[in-house]
Chains A and B, each alone.
Chain A
């Protein structure tokens, strides 16, 4: 049983049939609860606010303990593009994230389809293997995989992080399978009677019906690669030409010493694509998270 239906309730987009009257709650308790919520909300937003305020300070001012920028300056954002190879970092991140996502979708959707729709001997072993592969720390397999890529001469590039997705990503297969299982079997069975082969059923029935699930899985993959630090550290640290933005940001502050204003400007800029994607795809995204926490 999954909780995917509840995501809609969560989003407040499906109103309950009967307008539910606010429970006869004590007004004092209501006020207390909201005071706590507002206080927490301020604490949760404060870090981003401080980062932003620092990003519009002059370098000199960031060296003093002040909160409000005086004078207000956008110079750090200009510097971020002029003094730092930020565009190249963004390009590398986009290459990594888009490449991984596309390859993952091509390889993982058919596999998830098979695991959700077809019973065959060995299916459960394959499924358990996928779960284990998904949950095991990547460090466990890092040494032999690194040796493999270095023998192929591909270390120093992002390819060792992108190419494996052409051979399926365990977490994505798991998540897609969970989504596919929520589509009633009757639809695929009916399509089979109409003479569709497995690919026909997948393309004509499952894909159109599982669009939100596929979108959520794609976004997870995109974010995971966009945010990845360990992978680029392992494979590209010796080659600054191939640094993605997450890795570049981590090393930047080390190289440029105490330039907090510039560092915070870059930090804000790294956030932008992620936040934009989130707001465009909030609904499928929240459904996806809910589904990763499938109930037992």
Chain B
């Protein structure tokens, strides 16, 4: 490539007559290529975001027009709602405990695989496979496996002399840890990202640190972790954002473990079973919005979720270079 061709899009056009028309045509083409996505952003992102804020100041049930009620939804949310505190705490549990445990586990397995290089194609596939299982299927399977009466887990525990096994998904104290086990089982996505990161750490660094007499722990602390910081931050923040919207696993676990129908959205009976221990924030939002059709109040809950998620997002956007619009390193 000669240097004159470095920017042909502009340079070539600049010398020709009629350049203006050509540029305008090109701009039109470019805009046409982008138009559907722009329209999508406007209709499915910008508008609903603004509309959510508006609805949150109204009383609205879909049958009649929204009625402005000022801050009443927020007042109810922060002072009276009997379940929002429980729901927020449950979600916080998934954010603060499930995400770090899952990442730590993924990191450990990726570390093991990165060391056992020779056969890691098969190993990697094996540890990745559970992540492929559709979430609904994996939850149904886990509720069965941990089913206190007939499930294999308690049966195996009984071989070790534990005749009265835990109630797992039916015990309010163990339902969240049971979902934690499930989350660890499906850690494959994160593991693959970590594995790629680990194999990307220059081997020379390890060799140099060996020469300096570093032991395994020191290598982890001074070579591996610093090189992995960007990958870890990315996975942590996207994991937190995913945990803030934790819905499917908790909702299906409640429905299946309780053995009650949730058909037709009349799920209030089982939401959070057992004892609201699995009632996450987004489930509460769903219940109020789409079971009770209190859309104004659900919008207030959504706005609060938006504020919290945005704080995480701002952090992420500043830390992760791939999310910067100008990516010079590629």
CB distance from A280 to the nearest CB of B (A): 13
Contact status B141-A47, CB under 8 Å = yes
> Contact between A137 and B140 (Cβ–Cβ < 8 Å)?
no
Q: Which of B62, B123, B256 contacts A147 (CB 8 A)?
A: B62
Is B289's CB within 8 Å of the partner chain A? Answer: yes
**Residues B144 and A229 in contact, CB atoms below 8 Å apart:** no
CA distance A98 to B230 in the complex (A): 35
Query: In this complex, which of A10, A11, A127, A271 has the most chain B Cβ atoms within 10 angstroms of its Cβ?
Result: A10
Beta-carbon contact of B321 and A264 below 8 Å:
no
A295 near B322: Cβ-Cβ < 8 Å: yes
Residues of A within 8 A of B5 (CB): 189-190, 193
* Nearest 6 pairs of A and B residues by beta carbon: A167-B40, A293-B193, A296-B230, A124-B325, A168-B37, A144-B51
Cβ–Cβ < 8 Å partners of B199 in chain A: 6, 9-10
Q: Is the CB of A137 within 8 A of B305?
A: yes
User: Would you call A293 and B196 a contact (CB within 8 A)?
Assistant: yes
Q: Of residues B152, B241, B248, B264, which shows the largest number of chain A Cβ atoms within 10 Å of its Cβ?
A: B152
Main secondary structure of the interface of B (DSSP, over half): helix
B302 at the interface (CB under 8 A from A): yes
User: Is residue A73 contacting chain B, with contact meaning CB distance below 8 A?
Assistant: no
- The bracket for how many chain A residues form the interface is 35 or more
Nearest chain B residue, comparing its CB with the CB of A132: B313
Q: Which of A22, A246, A289 has the most CB of B within 10 A?
A: A289
Contacts of A123 in B (CB 8 A): 325
Q: Is B220 an interface position by the 8 A CB rule?
A: no
Interface assignment of B217: CB less than 8 Å from any CB of chain A: no
Q: Bound state CA distance, A84 and B246, in angstroms?
A: 29
Are the CB atoms of B290 and A234 closer together than 8 Å? yes
A47 B185 Cβ-Cβ under 8 A: yes
**CB–CB A278/B112 < 8 A:** no
In chain B, what residue has the closest Cβ to A293? B193
Residue A91 at the B interface, CB < 8 A?
Answer: no
Query: Quick check: is A87 within 8 A (CB to CB) of the other chain?
Result: no
**With a CB–CB cut-off of 8 A, which chain B residues contact A36?**
112
Q: How far is the CB of B261 from chain A (nearest CB, A)?
A: 4
Encode contact with A along B87-101: 1 for CB under 8 Å, 0 otherwise: 000000000000000
Q: Is A110 an interface residue (CB 8 A)?
A: yes
Majority-rule SS of A interface residues: helix
- Let me know if B116 is at the binding interface, CB within 8 A: yes
State how many angstroms separate the Cβ of A30 from the closest Cβ of chain B.
8
Contact present for A51 and B47 (CB under 8 Å): no
CB of B205 closer than 8 Å to a CB of A? no
Query: Taking A9-B199, A110-B34, A253-B256 as contacts, is the C-beta distance between A271 and B116 under 8 angstroms?
Result: no
Smallest distance from the beta carbon of B283 to chain A beta carbons, Å? Answer: 10
* Contact, CB under 8 Å: A140 / B150: no
B279 at the A interface (CB under 8 A): no
List the A residue with the shortest CB-CB distance to B246. Answer: A137
A253 — nearest CB in chain B belongs to which residue?
B256
Q: Which of the 9-residue segments A63-71, A74-82, A210-218 touches chain B?
A: A63-71
B35-49 CB contacts (< 8 Å) to partner A: 36-41, 43-49
* Chain A residues, Cβ within 8 Å of B252: 229, 250
The answer on a CB contact under 8 Å between B255 and A251 is: yes
- With the chains together, A263 CA to B255 CA distance in Å? 14
Interface residue from A118, A124, A139, A289 paired with B285 (Cβ < 8 Å): A139
Q: Could you tell me which residues of chain B, from 16 to 72, have a CB within 8 Å of some CB in chain A?
A: 26-27, 29-30, 32-34, 36-41, 43-49, 51-52, 55, 62
CB within 8 Å for A189 and B195 given contacts A123-B325, A250-B252:
no
Chain B residues within 8 Å of A118, by CB: 9, 30
A296 near B255: Cβ-Cβ < 8 Å: no
Which of B33, B47, B48, B256 contacts A250, CB < 8 Å?
B256
* Contact call B326/A137, Cβ cutoff below 8 A: no
Which residue of the partner chain, among A3, A114, A271, contacts B134 with CB atoms under 8 Å?
A: A271
Tell whether B74 is near chain A: CB-to-CB under 8 Å. no
Tell me if B14 counts as interface (CB < 8 A to partner A). no
Tell yes or no: A72 within 8 A of B by CB: no
A111–B190 alpha-carbon span in the complex (Å): 27
